[in-house]
Structure 1
Amino acid sequence: MADLSTFPITKRWPAANPAILQLYSLPTPNGVKVSIALEEIGLPYEPHLISFGANDQKSPEFMSLNPNGRIPAIIDPDGPGGKPIGLFESGAILLYLAEKTGKLMPADAVGRYETIQWVFFQMGGIGPMFGQFGHFHKFAADKVANNSYPVERYRDESKRLLGVLEERLQGRQWLMGDAYTIADIATFPWVRGADVFYGGREMLEYAKFPAVMAWLERCIARPASQKGLEIPARPK
């Protein structure tokens, strides 16, 4: 059995089964990417809830694994060469899981790089812009009540990015065509989250992006998504 004792995070969140992948996360748009991918792949894993309310992500134990203090993060006891590896950043984790298992990624080089570019599109565009829109629209609305510029800036950029997705999804079932990949998994939780978490459906005019909305419904309907969207379970 793998020895994970060299990872300080396991002192605070002990592994019940150190032989399987350990996930440290919360069901946010970034966090659920990894749980959904793991459910799709069928790789055994053990989830640990990182509570923002308790500021867990800033604890010394968590930051020993991710010095940036953000979820998600993982420890894979069966990393390269059979040795444990710790990873953070959702995009890096998705790429690692796809390459480790040979799933959720086209086998050909062209398809692989096209998939990676759409993952980077989410990481550099969809995530940051939707996140800033949500912050100013929902969480900081009182702070910008007399200044509409922040909300308008991130609303307009978010709509522009939805337009890019709309064009890409014309005539395609998934971002890469017939194959469901980590590009879909990276992106759809943010499109869903802008509505579910931020209440931005009307302001972002989702109705103007029918291909995106149909794709989003297909992504959410997948059994792995239905399960992964709720992992780790929030405390009741």
Structure 2
Amino acid sequence: MTDLSSFAITARWPAKEPEKLQLYSFATPNGVKVAIALEELGLPYEAHLVDITKNETWTEPFLSLNPNGKIPAILDPDGPGGKPLALFESGAILVYLAEKTGKLMPADPARRYETIQWVFFQMAAIGPMFGQLGFFHKFAGREIEDKRPLERYAGESKRLLGVLEGRLSGGKWMMGEDYTIADIAIFPWVRTLRDFYEAGDLVGFGGFPAVAAWLDRCLARPASAKGLAIPARG
């Protein structure tokens, strides 16, 4: 039987099935990416709810796996060389899972790097900009009298949607006919911008029909429906 007891995080979130990949997450745009990918790939995994509303990412057990104190993180008992691998950062996890299985990533080297480029685009631009827009539009930012921050993030988010519109205008997915980790990285953030942050009117979402149609296709995938609700909040 696989022994994961050397990883401190398992003391707080015990592995009932230690032979399976362990996912430590919360259903945020970043958190659901990994669950969706795991569902798409059909990899057996065990999901653990790390409640960010209770600051559980800042506890010693979680910090032992991710010193940056952010979800998601994984512990793969069958990592490279058959040894357990602990990994954090959703983009890195998506690349790892794609390469581990040989799926959700084109085999052609040039297209592989092109896919990774769009994952990095999400990590560097879409996630930070949409997240800041959500803060200033829906949450505590509303209390700030100076509206320039909101205007700055709304304008930049609209510009980024334009980048996606240009990319998706001639294809079904971010990589044309291939559904990849690039789609999985990006679509939860677009969904959150429109549905959770309720910022569709603010960024003129109706002016990006290719993005809207792509988002609908992403959401229609069975793995997306499952992954968006994992881990269950109980």
Could you state the TM-score of these two structures normalised by the residue count of structure 1? 0.98
Question: Which of the two has greater helix per residue?
Answer: 2
How far, CA to CA, are the matches of 1:157 and 1:142 in structure 2? 18
In structure 2, distance between residues paired with 1:151 and 1:135: 9
Task: Name 2:3's counterpart in structure 1.
Answer: 3
User: How far 1:197 sits from its partner (Å)?
Assistant: 2.0
- Separation (CA, whole Å) in 1 of partners of 2:55 and 2:196: 19
Aligned to 2:174: 175
Q: Distance in 2 between matches of 1:67 and 1:8?
A: 13
Structure 1 residue runs without a partner (length 5+) = none
The aligned residue for residue 112 of structure 2 is 112
Structure 1 partner of 2:77: 77
Distance of 2:57 and 2:230 partners within structure 1: 16
1:1-236 aligned at under 5 Å gives the runs 1-144=1-144, 146-235=145-234
- Aligned-residue RMSD, C-alpha: 0.7
Q: Percent identity?
A: 68
Letter in 2 for 1:87: L
Aligned-partner residue type, residue 151 of structure 1: L
Asked if the contact 1:2–1:84 (Cα under 8 Å) also holds between the matched residues in 2, the reply is no
| Cα drift, residue 195 of structure 1 | 1.9
Report the residue type matching 1:161 in the other structure: L
Matched residue type, 1:116: I
4+ residue runs of structure 1 moved beyond 2 angstroms? none
Write the letter of the residue equivalent to 1:158. Answer: S
For residue 81 of structure 1, give the secondary structure of its aligned residue in structure 2.
helix
Separation in structure 2 between the aligned mates of residue 64 and residue 100 of structure 1, nearest angstrom:
24
Give 3-state SS (helix, strand or coil) of 2:178's partner.
coil
Deviations 1:107-133 (A, max 9, x none): 010110000000000000000000000
How far off its partner does 1:190 sit? Answer: 0.1
Residue 204 of structure 1 deviates from its aligned partner by: 1.3
Amino acid at match of 1:73: A
- In structure 2, the gaps of 5 or more residues are none
Distance 1:226 1:148 in 2: 36
Residue identity in the other structure for 2:166? E
Q: Distance in 2 between matches of 1:81 and 1:116?
A: 24
Which digits, 9 at most, give the CA deviation of each residue in 1:161-180, with x for residues without a partner?
00000000011000000000
> d(CA) in 1 for partners of 2:204 and 2:118?
22
Q: Deviations over 1:120-168 (max 9, x none)?
A: 0000000000000001111123331x21101000000000000000000
Measure the CA separation in 1 of the matches of 2:220 and 2:68.
33
Q: Shift of the alpha carbon at 1:199?
A: 1.2
Aligned length in residues: 234
CA contact (8 A) 1:91 1:123 kept: yes
The whole-number CA distance in structure 1 between the counterparts of 2:163 and 2:96 is 26
* Superposition deviation, residue 2 in structure 1: 1.8
The one-letter code matched in structure 2 to 1:162 is L
Distance apart, 1:194 and its partner CA: 0.9
Q: Which amino acid aligns with 1:184?
A: D
Match of 2:219, SS state, is helix
Q: Secondary structure at the match of 2:51?
A: coil
Other structure's SS at 2:200 match: coil
2:217 counterpart SS class: helix
- Determine the C-alpha separation between the residues in 2 that align with 1:188 and 1:84: 30
